[in-house]
Amino acid sequence: MPQRPDFAAHRAQLLAHLAEDEAVLLFGGPHHLRNADSEYRYRADSDIYWLSAWEDPEVALFLRPGDEPFTLFCQARDPEREQWTGVRPGPEGAIAEWGADAAYPYDALAEHLPRLLQGVATLHYAFGREHQHDLLLLGAINKAAKAARHNGLGVPETFHSPRLLLHELRLRKNDEELLLLREAARITVAAHKAAMAWAAPGRFEYQVESLIDFIFRKEGGTGPGYNTIVAGGANACVLHYTSNTQELRDGDLVLIDAGCEYGYYTADVTRTFPANGKFTEPQRQIYELVLKAQLAAIDAVRAGQPYNAMHDAAVRVLTEGMVEIGLLEGEVDTLIHEETYKKYYVHGTGHWLGLDVHDVGAYGRKGESRPLEPGMLCTVEPGLYIGPEDEDAPEAFRGIGIRIEDDVLVTDGDPEILTAGVPKDVEAVEEACRSATPFTGMVSD
Ligand code: GLY
Ligand code: MN
Ligand code: MN
């Protein structure tokens, strides 16, 4: 079982940034039906989880500095429902085991919220996410305002998005969170190595996905942190290809974008390798260019550097390389300035990573990229995608899609690649493809 981070410390950190008349109100995400009366497995909202470790649906959390800062609304105990869906801690459990100072049934929100909101001038709340929650809050403010006419206590008049404070805190990972992220990375590394060894012409993309899923769960993860991509051949040019239905063919590259979620934190890794274990010359040329861009970008992930420096580094290397190999024509600075490179490189070079695969935290302010700080974790994932029908591209490159993605921690010194264990240079990748055993680097039998 993953060690849980100290969620009381997360709450204390947030509360320390709030004035006496500020509060935070968060709701958990809805529990969706998959079809008919079958539900998707519930996965807690990351803000709620980061502040409380609460994992069940129908939850709201209210935090305000004071003697009893932490109020939780949650599903009430219900022996009949619990027989079907498992034990509910209920408000009693929330107080006894989750550290809540006060807890009430979720159904009692409308009753208690007006009282809690009295005297709150600034509320941190995500308007526009869920209509029902907005209505409930506005109704509660209305009630509180009526009471305020008599008791003189104010009601919220200023609203801040959780992005401004809470997400800035989540952006900087502490040591406990990094332990979980390192474990997510370890399992992800093992799964990618296994996939390289086992994928082969004649196997189907979904079969390779199943091996990845197996290792994620076998090694203690909860499963993929996002939909796994196993894309053979030109399928790799579809950026969010997740159907994973096709047979791998001799001569195909295989692009796998898969990350294990462990203790709610996810890795996010992409590797591209030859199904038959040997890059063709055109595949190798594009691969080495993407790799060169990735290494240049990783080198820019340093404290004090602007976040965008890694993207700028990747774009420059990719553009220079595309001119060299005849994918683009023209002067490099102009191709960059006019964004001509976007014909083959359409996405950004990375994103924050943590509880969410595209994790929270601003990338900059007022159009300016923010400086990186130790503890921030991002992906670095340049790629090139040359459509099979692209008549502007030399024929040998058509249908090649390559991305290389690692998870990189900003430190006081050199960037730390949490996922460095997945083979990356051409020789290492080909060797991993030749490996007879897919099951290496695992801790459990
Ligand atoms: N796997 C999603 C991404 O790389 O952003
Ligand atoms: Mn990514
Ligand atoms: Mn990815």
Whether ligand 1 lies within 6 angstroms of the CB of 257 is answered as: yes
Question: What pLDDT score was predicted for residue 3?
Answer: 83
List the one residue out of 130, 97, 101 whose CA is nearest residue 116: 101
Domain residue spans in the chain? 7-169, 172-434
- Whose C-alpha lies nearest to ligand 1, atom 4? 268
Residues for the chain: how many in total?
Answer: 445
CA of 379, closest atom in ligand 1: 4
Residues lower than pLDDT 50 in the chain: none
User: Which residues have CB under 8 Å from 16's CB, separation 6+?
Assistant: none
Q: Which CATH superfamily is domain 7-169 in?
A: Creatinase/prolidase N-terminal domain (3.40.350.10)
Choose one of 239, 255, 268 to mutate for the ligand 1 pocket test, by most ligand atoms within 8 angstroms of C-beta: 268
Whether ligand 1 lies within 6 angstroms of the CB of 227 is answered as: no
Choose one of 260, 381, 385, 403 to mutate for the ligand 1 pocket test, by most ligand atoms within 8 angstroms of C-beta: 381
Question: What pLDDT score was predicted for residue 441?
Answer: 72
Residue ranges near ligand 3 (ion) with Cβ within 5 Å? 257, 268, 270, 405
| Encoded tokens for 173 | 């990972």
What is the CA 386 to chain-centroid distance, rounded?
26
- Whose C-alpha lies nearest to ligand 1, atom 5? 358
Catalytic residue among 64, 252, 351, 406: 351
Tell me whether residue 264 is one of the annotated catalytic residues: no
Tell me whether residue 56 is one of the annotated catalytic residues: no
Is the Cβ–Cβ distance between 244 and 207 less than 8 Å? Answer: no
Answer whether 0.85 is exceeded by the pTM: yes
Question: What pLDDT score was predicted for residue 445?
Answer: 59
What is the CA 311 to chain-centroid distance, rounded?
18
* CA–CA separation, 279 and 251 (whole Å): 8
Catalytic residue among 47, 381, 406, 407: 381
Quick count: other Cβ atoms within 10 Å of Cβ 303?
Answer: 15
Question: What pLDDT score was predicted for residue 436?
Answer: 82
Catalytic residue among 32, 34, 37, 175: 37
Tell me whether residue 257 is one of the annotated catalytic residues: yes
Q: How far is the CA of 119 from the centre of ligand 2 (A)?
A: 42
Q: How far is the CA of 382 from the centre of ligand 3 (A)?
A: 10
The residue written with tokens 């040997």 in the block is 278
Choose one of 351, 352, 353, 356 to mutate for the ligand 1 pocket test, by most ligand atoms within 8 angstroms of C-beta: 351
Tell me whether residue 150 is one of the annotated catalytic residues: no
Question: What pLDDT score was predicted for residue 439?
Answer: 81
| Encoded tokens for 315 | 């774009």
Residue ranges near ligand 2 (ion) with Cβ within 5 Å? 268, 379
Q: How far is the CA of 77 from the centre of ligand 1 (A)?
A: 38
Catalytic residue among 347, 390, 398, 431: 347
* CA–CA separation, 60 and 92 (whole Å): 15
As a CATH number, domain 172-434 is 3.90.230.10
Question: What pLDDT score was predicted for residue 279?
Answer: 98
| Encoded tokens for 107 | 């159904």
Tell me whether residue 347 is one of the annotated catalytic residues: yes
Question: What pLDDT score was predicted for residue 289?
Answer: 98
CA of 358, closest atom in ligand 1: 5
Question: What pLDDT score was predicted for residue 444?
Answer: 61
The torsion defined by the Cα of 54, 59, 60 and 64, in degrees rounded to 10, comes to: -30
List the one residue out of 288, 285, 279 whose CA is nearest residue 327: 285
Whether ligand 1 lies within 6 angstroms of the CB of 255 is answered as: no
Whether ligand 1 lies within 6 angstroms of the CB of 219 is answered as: no
